[in-house]
Structure 1
């Protein structure tokens, strides 16, 4: 269970964060702002990314996640603030002078070029020898599971296959940083689940530092080493998937990631009251008394057919027993969702 004061979320500003035990970060963002006229899309963003990490920028539409990615890429430079990569200040470098590969949401493949020519594009621009280009293209086609597709054109491939080609093209020149702008959003659900595993395994195999933008909580939780949760141009929380899910830093994070039950309640002497029932919870930073919002994950609620007194008598685990009424049930395939009501939750 998590709590937040009823007056609003806690507003302690997240500091630039990097994984415990890491040395100098590979990518460092310090005091980054981005303004479009009078609108502030990014507000004082600071973040450290370690070598080889897989980072997800997660948040709703308009939160600033893509704007931050584009600033890192030099495609839409920041208004002020600094970005360093590998110890080098790249804040003022044009996109062409930065060391990264990028995969866009639309993949941006060249329709008039074959798959092998699409993958070879960056290598050809870099003036690599033809024998080296051919060998690298063959290696990458094998790596992304498309060894027999070299002579085809993008229109002849499925969306999932095109995504793999775009990924192969992005890593062809062995960039120090891989940027992914919602690469799975245009695919159907089953293909997304398959490819997010493929991308994560490929990133782990290559060891390339990767930043992916997504609005899909499941993608971020399953793929990222750390998640950067954003809202209204600021970072709400940086942490591992487990940290942001089980220990959200604000009501927004708790509500945005996963399903939640938000219940207005009061705390007195360290205990919260829901209706007439007193419940206990672990929340070190919760107030000792006053109004709070209790956030309970559905998986932390265990239905019991007996009333509270009978449940205690039968030795039910846990002290937090609340009498509720089931208003309706939804069948969602692998589980049921129960909608609860009644005066005990009022």
Structure 2
């Protein structure tokens, strides 16, 4: 995902690619909202597994809460990426990153760059999604059996922060993109769990951070590929700020930190002792991702492996709750 001077000067100089063929309006908006990238939405399964056992912990009310929260987060993230596309189109970074010099990036995923959607329509879509998310978050909070103050504050920050990611104050244009990606995933797990149980236990906090690491760890590979476009508009991702070697070391440190979080949580008893072994397949896939990206130099393939790591990790975290219940932990 990707001040007014850049907006006014960069966009008019760029010529968007002509669309290959007519595309239905719903498909265009699905592309704008990146509905095919569903990885942030998988957090609901972690929460569901955490509250599902014993069987009487999940009621019709909490089930409805999870359903409403899921739709709300889909709307919110569609708004976020739509605003991101508008900004990336206006400042020229998306035109650089999805232009003919980058044939591995599918320009049709960027309807504004492809010329299949206009900026006013994209903005109307983004604001409609944002308002729908706001209303649905209010409904989810009304359904909540527990309403600790931190969940209300968290929902407000989640909603407002998503709209400011690359629009408005443009959080990601001030050097906070990587932190934001983890925080977003963290919130999408811990907030619904907090509204259902009123608590935020250590094991769930660890899993919420791990969930946030998933999008971060395919995001940093995207940033590595998009470094030229980000540098051209002054977007200070770590990849844009550091040398190639420095960026590789940064991503290596992130990969190691993810594993250490799992290992330390298991060692000190925050997570079950066997959690580090259970998560080992995801940890090994993370190592493969790094070697593929920075030893073989195939950054985009490594990015795709990042999606697999995240999805495997979510499945293993779901399994951890079933196993913990079976073992009485």
**Given the two structures, how large is their TM-score scaled by the length of structure 1?**
0.23
| Greater share of residues in helix | 2
Higher Cα Rg, which structure? 1
**Given the two structures, how large is their TM-score scaled by the length of structure 2?**
0.23
| Greater share of residues in strand | 1
